Each structure stands twice: as C-alpha cells, then as structure tokens.
Amino acid sequence: MNSDIRRSSTLILVFTAALAATCSLGEGDATSTRRQLPSSIPRLDGTRTPDLSGVWQALNEANWDLEGHGARAAMALQPGIRDSSGVPKASMLVLGAVGGVPGSLGVVEGGAIPYRPEALARRNENAAHALERDPEVKCLLPGVPRATYLPYPFQVTQGPTKMMIVYGFSNAGRTIHFDEVNPPKVEEWMGYSVGRWQEDTLIVEVTHQNDQTWFDRAGNFHGAGMRVIERYTPLSRNHLWYEAAIEDATTFTAPWRIQMPLYRRIEDNAQVFEYRCVEMVEELVYGHLRKHQLVRRAEHDYGRLGGTLLVEITRGPSSIEDR
C-alpha cells in the first residue's frame, strides 16, 4: 500500500513539474517548440521550398467570433425578462440548439480587436443585425482571412511561380503570385495576393480587398484600405501554423493579429466539394420580387418539449439602399 502511494506521489510530482515547465514557456519558446519538425515537411521536387499542396481545414470557432466569447443561445438575440444574456430572436427561434453559438477562447492575439470608438459602435450594430448584414448569409465571397477559417476545407495547389487556393464556399478562390504581376485596377472580394518565402514560412501580402466582407458572424469588419499579411508555417506534414496580421488605420487604432493551426485532411481521396450556395439563397435574396410568394408560412411541432411554433412570412422591397 505504502509503495503504491509513493509511486503515485512520484508520478504527480513529475507531471506537476512537466506542467509547470510547459506553462512557463513564453510565446517565443512555444513557437519555436511548434516549429522543430522540418524533416517531415514535404518539398517541391528538386528544391528546399515547402510543398503545401493538399486539402486543409481550420477546426475552431473563429467564424462565429474571432474574439473570445461564451456560448450564446443564438447568433441574433433580443432582451429577455430575467435572462440578461437574451433570448433568440424570432428568426432564430425555430433552429433551437442548431442556431446556437459555441464558446471559444478566441484567436486574436491579446484578446480584443483594437477598434476606434466609432468603428466599435458600428461593430456592435452589425452584431445586432448580423442576420441581415453578414455577407456569409447571402453567400457572398468571404474575403481574406475569413475564407481560411470558414468551417469547410480548402485545397492548395502549388507550383514554382503560382499557388492556387480553392474554397468550396461560394466557389471562392484566389491565386498567390510569386512572380511579377500587375495588381488589379479595382478592389475585389478576395483581394490581390503576392507571396514570398522566408525560410520555411510562406508570407502572403493581400491588398485590394473591398470593404464588404466581414471577419466573422459577430459583426467584426474592416475598411477598404485593409492590408493583410498572412504567414503559413509548416509544423509537420499534416499541420500548418497560420497567422494573419491586419492593418487598417481607418478602423483600428493599431495593427492586430490572429493565429491558429490548420490541419491536413488525411482521409483517402480527400477533396473539396463545391458549396454552390448562390442558388440556395435565391429565395432569400430575390424572393420578394415574385409576383406570387412561395414561402408564406412555417409551422413546427416540437412535441411535448417545445409545443407548436407558427411563423407567418411577409415579403416586400427593402427600405435600405446601401446593402
């Protein structure tokens, strides 16, 4: 009995010491620890350039909200009577737990996005009207960096002078140029990407994005002059460390950064399926133009635990001209 207790005590002390050593690592130490696996990184044939080709996916809650947050009953809430956190708006009520927001530690370095006061007020207004304003709801192109952490896989195809990234959502895609290419004359949804290698890290500068995309479903947004510096660092054959530095002096008081791991899809025949959601939202976007409305009424019977919910739907033209 005493020997078992001594062995258990020894194991606890060893575990505690290892945990303390891990917790004492600074950001630089943790980063260098992540990056000590160069021998397993695939390389382009005949070169030392990492080959990032494959199907990748982020596994986190960033698309709900980049900042840390607790779980919420819905993406759109209204005040409750006793519940200070609010209750789902009528448009979200029918979804129940499916429409909830999972909690997250966040992916923003430092915890909070450094908004200017007037921009923060707009972000909060966006959050209150996320169902109407979020470009994702209408299947608009997600922009960068949001395309990276949407909850869908994306495929990288790499060559010596170009890299193509294809995202399933809304048929989005972009080309990263390693050679000399003239930038576009107008701003685009997915921007203009120029890449270079710094040892094993791919650095991509993304400019010429329009101001219509959001960072997430929580209303976080940017202006037209945003500049994004992405860093893709291979940790092993199946892991990348992704960072994106955001610069936009009209919206933020200082540059800020997000970071997260990306995972290779390693199942047989991994591929990106098209998520052609444009036609899926035709009724939402253009249904009010129909002479005879198709969607007028929704009735849901949840049984004893929920009762019956009836929703009447009326469509009409928008009174807002800028969205």
What is the pLDDT at residue 172?
Answer: 96
What's the pLDDT score for residue 65? 98
pLDDT of res. 81: 80
Residue appearing with tokens 């009424």: 297
pLDDT tens, residue by residue, 82-117: 767 789 988 898 899 999 999 999 999 999 999 999
Distances (CA, A) of 109 to 68, 148, 229, 257: 10, 17, 15, 6
Angle at 169 between CA 92 and CA 230, to 5 degrees: 110
Question: What pLDDT was estimated at residue 78?
Answer: 87
Task: Enter the tokens of residue 117.
Answer: 């006061």
Cα-Cα-Cα-Cα dihedral of 186, 207, 159, 154, to 10°?
-100
Give me the pLDDT at residue 35, please: 54
What are the residue ranges in the chain where pLDDT is below 50?
1-30, 32-33
> So what's the pLDDT on residue 176?
98
The domain segmentation of the chain, as residue ranges, is: 2-34, 279-312
- Please tell me the predicted confidence (pLDDT) of residue 218: 97
pLDDT in tens, 194-250: 999 999 999 999 999 999 999 999 999 999 999 999 999 999 999 999 999 999 999
* Rg, Å, the chain Cα set: 23
- The per-residue pLDDT for 1 is 46
- Identify which of 282, 270, 301, 222 has the alpha carbon closest to the alpha carbon of residue 56: 270
Strand 77-78 with 87-88, pairing: antiparallel
- Output the pLDDT for position 323: 56
Q: Which of 241, 243, 169, 240 is nearest to 206 (CA)?
A: 243
DSSP 8-state class, residue 39: G
3-state secondary structure of 265: coil
Structure tokens at 263: 């995972």
Q: How many helices (H) does the chain have, and how many strands (E)?
A: 7, 13
Cβ neighbours for 219, distance < 8 A, ≥ 6 positions apart: 123, 124, 125, 126, 127, 128, 129, 130, 133, 134
113 and 256 Cβ atoms separated by less than 8 Å? yes
Can you give the pLDDT at residue 280? 94
- What are 288's two structure tokens? 């009010």
For residue 306 the two structure tokens come to 């929920």
pTM of the model: 0.85
For 107, which DSSP code?
S
